[in-house]
Every structure is written in structure tokens, then in C-alpha cells.
Chain A
Amino acid sequence: MPDMSVKRNAMPLLNIEKRKTTYEEVALGYSEQDALSEASRCLNCKNMPCVKGCPVNIRIPDFISEIKNKNYEKAYDIIADASLLPAVCARVCPQESQCESKCVRSIKSESVAIGRLERFVSDLHIKNAESPSPAPSNGHKVAVIGSGPSGLTCAGALAKKGYKVTVFEALHTAGGVLVYGIPEFRLPKEIVNKEIDNLKKMGVEIRTNVIIGKTFTIDELMSEHGYEAVYVASGAGLPNFMNIEGENLNGVYSANEFLTRINLMKAYMPESSTPIMRPNKTVVVGGGNVAMDAARCAKRLGSEVYVVYRRTEKELPARREEAEHAVEEGIIFNYLTSPVKITSNENGYVNGVVCQKMELSQPDESGRARPVPIEGSEFTIEADCVIMAIGTSPNPLIRSTTPGLETNKKGGIITDERTATSKDGVFAGGDAVTGSATVILAMGAGKEAAYAIDKYIAEKQGE
């Protein structure tokens, strides 16, 4: 009989006081007992609505059944069939708007904590599993551009089929947004490194410090370096700004810069040589996961932190858990608020943000209520640091150096539903196509691309 308790098993969390100063992981993960108890809440529905909510269609009731039977490694295999980075996705997927939102239990009580169960199984696997070994080679070479979630997924899927895959990364460390963007307290780098090590053991070559579009072009990869297909997963690296007065003052960061300094360049460690401001009062603009990450990092640098978001709590695009953790950590949310100007002292350092209050009106083209300013509602928040976390756009380096690669007016690469671009042999996916989205969607595209590339090369062989 399923456990019909209304509440899901709580996630054990790091002590709140500790969270304000350290970068240790906040969500500690289920114990075996928690996992067994939570798994027993699953009704094992025949029509599996949760699977339809998962962008990579993990067979969720099946893996939960294996947890019930204590076959944890089997449960992992079921997840790994569909997802290359389970330990990562378990931590960063917005489950509440995907699989868990479709859970039948959520009609009358809390949904089954699918993400937490996924994490329990994946963490256990990481602890105990043997390293993978390379598949027999099929003699074909494929290049993957970008080592973020989409690129790694595609590389892993192709390596399993015997392809010789090289992943090109512009930065000095592989992992993309998983290492430069998402902070340690939400996704420990040890987990990302483990996943990347596994790929290397599967025979994937990772070349850091290579900027495609600069060091090599895509045409050169295909004509001079012998790659038969290329998967472009270069992400949406270009930070957006609001184009308001004062945005170039000292103390104004893009979330990308702030997070990169802290995560990739380890500015949070006292022995790091990367300079970072230690602000007293920080305003973070935006309401997505990146805004939450930036706010919580600023908090850990010792700052008082205000998040300003132009819609209400209901529209907040961040993962619910991240917003909850931010509130617990003492971050103050100003909803229906939008900056109009950033002010400075005589030396060019930020000293405040002039904001105006907003109200919601008719839905806009995105289907969300459009915020409109309330006249005469301006007020100033004092601050010595401002972080813009209002989204990113695809990087122009590849589109500007790849003739024949069509892009849309926002700079995203145009593909068909199977990730093929307008250029023969070139495939693309993830944020480079969609603009900033989620890790799981990027992974889904990487998986799709591996399938499409395999088919493309097989067909070419047949000709």
C-alpha cells in the first residue's frame, strides 16, 4: 500500500547561520530511510503523467519502484538511460514545474519528491560505481563546441556509440554554466568534475582554451581537422543589460561576471588571487535562478541583499526551492519594482538605485502579465553593488565566423526539430538555439543531437 501522507519527506538542510558564510551545499540529500519513505508515496500510476512532464522522459515510476525494492543501482540505470547527468539534474531541474507538477498526488497533497529521489540514487551511484570504459571505436570523428550540459550530454551519447568525440571549451575549465554559473552551495563542483572525468574515461577528449570562431572556425574543424559533424552547444553567453543610466559605473556587474569571479575564479576563497568587491548592500535585478544564485553569493560575501523583480512572487521564474532558500538566508525581495537609474558618488562608485513601482496589466506575448510603471512612484534603494541578472543572449563568435549558418533576429541558431542547422553536418542545441533556458532542456537537445548526428553519419556512409 502506498504511503498516503499529505506531506513529502523534508529535505535535510545545512544550518542557516552556516549558510550565510560558507559555500557548502545547502540541501544535504535524503537518507536511505527518507528515500524509502518518500518512494512509498508514489502510486505507480499506469499512465505515468510525471514522465510526460520530464523533458528527457525519464521512466520515473519505474525507477521509484526500484528504490522501493532497494535496487538502487537498477534505479540509477533507469535514470541514466534517459539522462546523462542525473546528479546534476536532480539538483538544478525545476521539478515543481516539470515532472512533479504532473504527479497525481499533487492534486490532493504534495507531489512525490521526484527530484530528491533522483538525487539520492545518483549520489549513491557516484559514491559506489566503477568507472566507465570506452566503447569500441566506430572510426568517426565528431566535434562538440562547448562543455556545458548540452555539449557534455551529446559527447557522452556519441562516445557510447563508439564515436571519437572532441569537446572544445573556450575557458580553462570544462563544465560551462555548471562551473562558472551555478554556485558550489547549489551544485558542488566535485559532482561536475566526476561527470566530466567519466566522459574522459569513455574516451571523450576535452580541449580547454580553444575558442571556436577564433582559434579554429567550424569550417576548419570539418575541412582540416577531419570532423565529420559538429554540434554547436556554445550557450547563451552574452549578458543582457537594461540600458539605463549608470549601468557602467564601478560596482555594477552582470550576473555572469559576478558569478564567474566567485565560482570559476574562486574569489570566495580567501587565498584566491581574483579580486571581488565585498559590498555592504547589494541590489540584484531579476527573478530567475541566476538572480537567486547571485543574491545568495552576495549574501555569503557579507552583504545585505535586495532582489528587485518587476512582477510578483507568483511570476518569479526561479526554481521555488532557490527562492525559499534565499528568503531563509535573509534576502529581501522587492516585487513589482524596476530600476530606472543607478546613481554614484563623485568617484564613479555606485551609491544607489532609483526604482519605480510597477503594476500588472494585460498578458504580453510571453503570456505573462505585463508590468507597467506607476507614475510618481520613484524611490531609491541605497546600495554599493548592483548585479544585473536579466538574462543572456547567444554569443556572436560562432555565427559571425560560420558562413551558411542561419540565425534568428535574437542571434539564436536556427535548427529543425532534430537539431540540424542550415549548414550541412552542423547541428546545434541548448541556449545557443533557444536563448537562456534550463539545464535539462539543453541536455535534451544534446541527446537529440547525438541521435541526429549518428543518423547523419550513417546515411552519409550509405551514399
Chain B
Amino acid sequence: MFEIINKKILNPTVTMMDVYAPDIAKKAQPGQFIILRAAPDGERIPLTVAGYDREKGTVKIIFQIVGASTFILNQLNEGDCISDFAGPLGVPTKTDGLKKVCVVGGGVGCAIALPVAQKLYDSGCEVHSIVGFRTKDLVILENEFKACSKKLYIMTDDGSYGEKGVVTSPLKSLLDSGEKYDEVIAIGPLVMMKFVTLTTKPYNIKTTVSMNPIMIDGTGMCGGCRLTVGGKTKFACVDGPDFDGFEVDFDEAIKKGSMYSREQKHAYDNACNLFKKEAD
């Protein structure tokens, strides 16, 4: 069992937890993920590592409440235990040798982008960060990004905080103004990552994206997370989750992402009703 050492509500739909899992904390690298089951008989949920404390033996996860399983996970509090927690899985984000990088995060994807930005900063790389959210209430990790970024742009869809607009507009301005990045690393919703690659493509700047498809085991066994990358089938769990953004078939991935939307809505309603009943 894996104890929740610390829990923090980052915004109404996003929660952070530090989970005691010393074997994983010792090994985890930015870009890798863990798979958890909140309770026995629950679903296996893949979550990208949002940080780790090797000394305290904790792994940080940040998740958005999107369905039944994340709803149930969010019911757990400090001192409670997560029944299964396995990892670290996937290939770490490659940061070696990078001198200047633009990190682009969208929504809860910022939680995954942050440790990458921090690792780059710690290795002496110049980091420019662009983070986007729907609205002011959903903004997370602003101070953390500030601490590791030479330039930081905060965007909101409705203009309630930072600048109004999407992440690709400051990205395009930076590129137009002659910023020469070794790499752009984008982590967020599929549509955002697709548009980041469309923005960087004309400048031919290497763009890495982090794919987070539906998966079960996370070790290559089920093949449920397969994607088309450069015309070839890849498994996000073992070949990724990072891929060359210019090669990813985003349209296919977007269609695949909605495969269980109907079933998930049903499960979410059931889970919510269950807790409502318990509360009554």
C-alpha cells in the first residue's frame, strides 16, 4: 500500500499528491509515468510523474478529475493509502546537451512540463516557458515555473489572467523575433500539441510532445496505447511517452482518445451518485 503523505487542491478540478513509494522515487525521471489503482478493483490510471523527492521517498502526482477513477482517487486524503502504484514507466525526457529550450504546457499538462523545465534549468539550460489555461481559477504552478524560467508567458482563453489567447501566439512571436531554440517541448491537450507542432514546423525546430493515451498495463502488454508515428505503429508506454511532434498522427490520436467517452460518462455519473449517497 502506498500512503498519501501530502495532498493539496491546486484548483477545483486539479489535485496534487505526494505518495510514499521509495523504490519509484529513487528511479523516477521527468517524462516518465506511474500507473495506479486508487482502490482494489479500480481502473489502472497512468499519470506522468510531476516530481519526486528521493530522500523522503515520495513521488508527486498531479491529476485532473475527469472520470470515475480520478474522482475516486480524489476522495482519498493524507494518511490514506493508494492500493497499487507501479513504475517508473516509459522513457525519460531527453534533456542532455540542450542549451535553450521553450517549454509549452497546457492545463494539467503543466504539471508534467514543470519537472522537465526544472531539470533543464538545473542543468544550466535557458528555459522559456509558455503555460496556458482556460481561465484564472485553473492556473497552477505559476511560482514554480517562474523560478526556473528566464521568460514566462501565462495565457488564458478568456483573458481573466495573464494574456488572452492560446499558447501558440507567444510561441510564434518568440520564433518571429529570432529566438533560436534547440528544442520546443510541448505537453498538454492533443489539440494544443498539434498546433504547437504546426507553429514550429516552418522554423524547423525540433519539437517533442508527450503523448498520454488510454493504456492498461503500461509495460507494452496490451497495445491499447498505440499511435502512428512516422507512419509506423508505436506503443506510447514503452516507446514513449515522448515523440517527435512532427511525426505523430494527431488526428488519429484525437479520435482514439474519445473511444470510451460514452462509457466514461456513464461510469463518472455512477461514481458521483455513489458518493452523493454516502454523503446523504
Q: Which residues of A contact B (CB under 8 A)?
A: 170-172, 180, 208-211, 214-216, 237-239, 241, 243, 247-251, 253-254, 256-257, 260-261, 265-266, 272-277, 347-348, 395-397
Question: Within the assembled complex, what's the spacing in Å between the Cα atoms of A241 and B258?
Answer: 22
B24, B223, B227: which contacts A239 (Cβ < 8 A)?
B223
Question: Within the assembled complex, what's the spacing in Å between the Cα atoms of A171 and B83?
Answer: 12
The answer to whether B259 touches A250, judged by C-beta atoms less than 8 angstroms apart, is: yes
The answer to whether B84 touches A257, judged by C-beta atoms less than 8 angstroms apart, is: no
Question: Within the assembled complex, what's the spacing in Å between the Cα atoms of A154 and B198?
Answer: 53
The answer to whether B89 touches A260, judged by C-beta atoms less than 8 angstroms apart, is: no
Further pairs besides A214-B87, A273-B43, A396-B238: 16, Cβ < 8 Å: A170-B86, A172-B83, A209-B86, A211-B86, A214-B89, A215-B27, A215-B88, A216-B23, A239-B223, A260-B221, A273-B41, A273-B42, A274-B43, A275-B260, A277-B263, A395-B221
The answer to whether A272 touches B41, judged by C-beta atoms less than 8 angstroms apart, is: yes
Q: How far is the CB of B49 from chain A (nearest CB, A)?
A: 12
The answer to whether B42 touches A210, judged by C-beta atoms less than 8 angstroms apart, is: no
Interface membership of B175, Cβ < 8 A: no
**What would be 22 A-B contacts, judged by CB atoms less than 8 Å apart?**
A170-B217, A172-B37, A172-B83, A180-B221, A210-B86, A214-B27, A214-B87, A239-B221, A248-B228, A248-B233, A250-B255, A250-B256, A253-B223, A256-B221, A256-B223, A260-B221, A260-B222, A273-B72, A273-B271, A347-B255, A396-B238, A397-B238
The answer to whether B264 touches A275, judged by C-beta atoms less than 8 angstroms apart, is: yes
Which A residues are CB-close (under 8 A) to B233?
241, 243, 247-248
The answer to whether B219 touches A172, judged by C-beta atoms less than 8 angstroms apart, is: no
Contact with A along B256-280 (1 / 0, CB 8 A): 1011100110010001000000000
Q: How far is the CB of B126 from chain A (nearest CB, A)?
A: 32
Question: Within the assembled complex, what's the spacing in Å between the Cα atoms of A180 and B87?
Answer: 19
Scan residues 81-116 of chain B and give those whose CB is less than 8 A from a CB of chain A. 83-89
The answer to whether B221 touches A237, judged by C-beta atoms less than 8 angstroms apart, is: yes
B23, B41, B222, B263: which contacts A210 (Cβ < 8 A)?
B23
Q: How far is the CB of A202 from chain B (nearest CB, A)?
A: 24
Q: How far is the CB of B180 from chain A (nearest CB, A)?
A: 34
The answer to whether A273 touches B267, judged by C-beta atoms less than 8 angstroms apart, is: yes
Question: Within the assembled complex, what's the spacing in Å between the Cα atoms of A266 and B42?
Answer: 10
**Interface of B, helix, strand, loop or mixed by DSSP:** mixed
Interface membership of B252, Cβ < 8 A: yes
Which B residues are CB-close (under 8 A) to A256?
221-223
Question: Within the assembled complex, what's the spacing in Å between the Cα atoms of A215 and B84?
Answer: 14
Question: Within the assembled complex, what's the spacing in Å between the Cα atoms of A34 and B221?
Answer: 41
Contact with A along B16-60 (1 / 0, CB 8 A): 000000011001000000000100011110000000000000000
Question: Within the assembled complex, what's the spacing in Å between the Cα atoms of A171 and B44?
Answer: 10
A210, A215, A260: which contacts B216 (Cβ < 8 A)?
A260
Q: How far is the CB of B75 from chain A (nearest CB, A)?
A: 13
Closest 8 CB pairs of A and B: A348-B255, A275-B263, A257-B222, A254-B223, A209-B86, A275-B260, A237-B221, A172-B84
When A215-B27, A273-B68, A397-B220 are in contact, do A348 and B41 touch as well, CB less than 8 Å? Answer: no
Q: How far is the CB of A265 from chain B (nearest CB, A)?
A: 7
**Interface of A, helix, strand, loop or mixed by DSSP:** loop
Question: Within the assembled complex, what's the spacing in Å between the Cα atoms of A444 and B118?
Answer: 50
Please give me the residue from chain B that is nearest to A235 by CB atom.
B221
Q: How far is the CB of A231 from chain B (nearest CB, A)?
A: 18
The answer to whether B43 touches A265, judged by C-beta atoms less than 8 angstroms apart, is: yes
When A239-B223, A273-B42 are in contact, do A215 and B87 touch as well, CB less than 8 Å? Answer: yes
Question: Within the assembled complex, what's the spacing in Å between the Cα atoms of A260 and B35?
Answer: 15
Which A residues are CB-close (under 8 A) to B223?
238-239, 241, 253-254, 256-257
Interface membership of B226, Cβ < 8 A: yes
Interface membership of B69, Cβ < 8 A: yes
Q: How far is the CB of B266 from chain A (nearest CB, A)?
A: 9
Which B residues are CB-close (under 8 A) to A247?
233
Q: How far is the CB of B219 from chain A (nearest CB, A)?
A: 5
The answer to whether A348 touches B224, judged by C-beta atoms less than 8 angstroms apart, is: no
Question: Within the assembled complex, what's the spacing in Å between the Cα atoms of A339 and B223?
Answer: 19
The answer to whether B238 touches A171, judged by C-beta atoms less than 8 angstroms apart, is: no
Which A residues are CB-close (under 8 A) to B37?
172
Most B CB atoms within 10 A — which of A180, A273, A274? Answer: A273
When A172-B86, A274-B43 are in contact, do A215 and B222 touch as well, CB less than 8 Å? Answer: no
The answer to whether A275 touches B24, judged by C-beta atoms less than 8 angstroms apart, is: no
The answer to whether B220 touches A238, judged by C-beta atoms less than 8 angstroms apart, is: yes
Which A residues are CB-close (under 8 A) to B238?
396-397
Question: Within the assembled complex, what's the spacing in Å between the Cα atoms of A216 and B26?
Answer: 10
Question: Within the assembled complex, what's the spacing in Å between the Cα atoms of A254 and B214?
Answer: 14
When A170-B217, A250-B256, A275-B260 are in contact, do A209 and B222 touch as well, CB less than 8 Å? Answer: no
Please give me the residue from chain A that is nearest to B267 by CB atom.
A273
Which B residues are CB-close (under 8 A) to A208?
84
The answer to whether A254 touches B87, judged by C-beta atoms less than 8 angstroms apart, is: no
Most A CB atoms within 10 A — which of B24, B44, B223, B271? Answer: B223
Please give me the residue from chain B that is nearest to A171 by CB atom.
B217
A248, A276, A396: which contacts B256 (Cβ < 8 A)?
A248
Which A residues are CB-close (under 8 A) to B24?
215
Which A residues are CB-close (under 8 A) to B228?
248
Which B residues are CB-close (under 8 A) to A248?
226-228, 233, 252, 256
Which B residues are CB-close (under 8 A) to A170?
86, 217, 219
When A241-B233, A248-B233, A274-B43 are in contact, do A260 and B217 touch as well, CB less than 8 Å? Answer: yes
Question: Within the assembled complex, what's the spacing in Å between the Cα atoms of A215 and B34?
Answer: 10
Scan residues 60-75 of chain B and give those whose CB is less than 8 A from a CB of chain A. 68-69, 72
Question: Within the assembled complex, what's the spacing in Å between the Cα atoms of A209 and B220?
Answer: 15
Please give me the residue from chain A that is nearest to B227 by CB atom.
A248
Q: How far is the CB of A172 from chain B (nearest CB, A)?
A: 4
B84, B227, B260: which contacts A209 (Cβ < 8 A)?
B84
Which B residues are CB-close (under 8 A) to A243?
233
Question: Within the assembled complex, what's the spacing in Å between the Cα atoms of A250 and B223?
Answer: 13
Please give me the residue from chain B that is nearest to A276 by CB atom.
B263
The answer to whether B222 touches A239, judged by C-beta atoms less than 8 angstroms apart, is: yes
Scan residues 244-261 of chain B and give those whose CB is less than 8 A from a CB of chain A. 252, 255-256, 258-260
Which B residues are CB-close (under 8 A) to A261?
216
Which B residues are CB-close (under 8 A) to A347?
255
Question: Within the assembled complex, what's the spacing in Å between the Cα atoms of A238 and B222?
Answer: 7
The answer to whether A265 touches B23, judged by C-beta atoms less than 8 angstroms apart, is: no
The answer to whether B44 touches A348, judged by C-beta atoms less than 8 angstroms apart, is: no
Please give me the residue from chain A that is nearest to B43 by CB atom.
A273
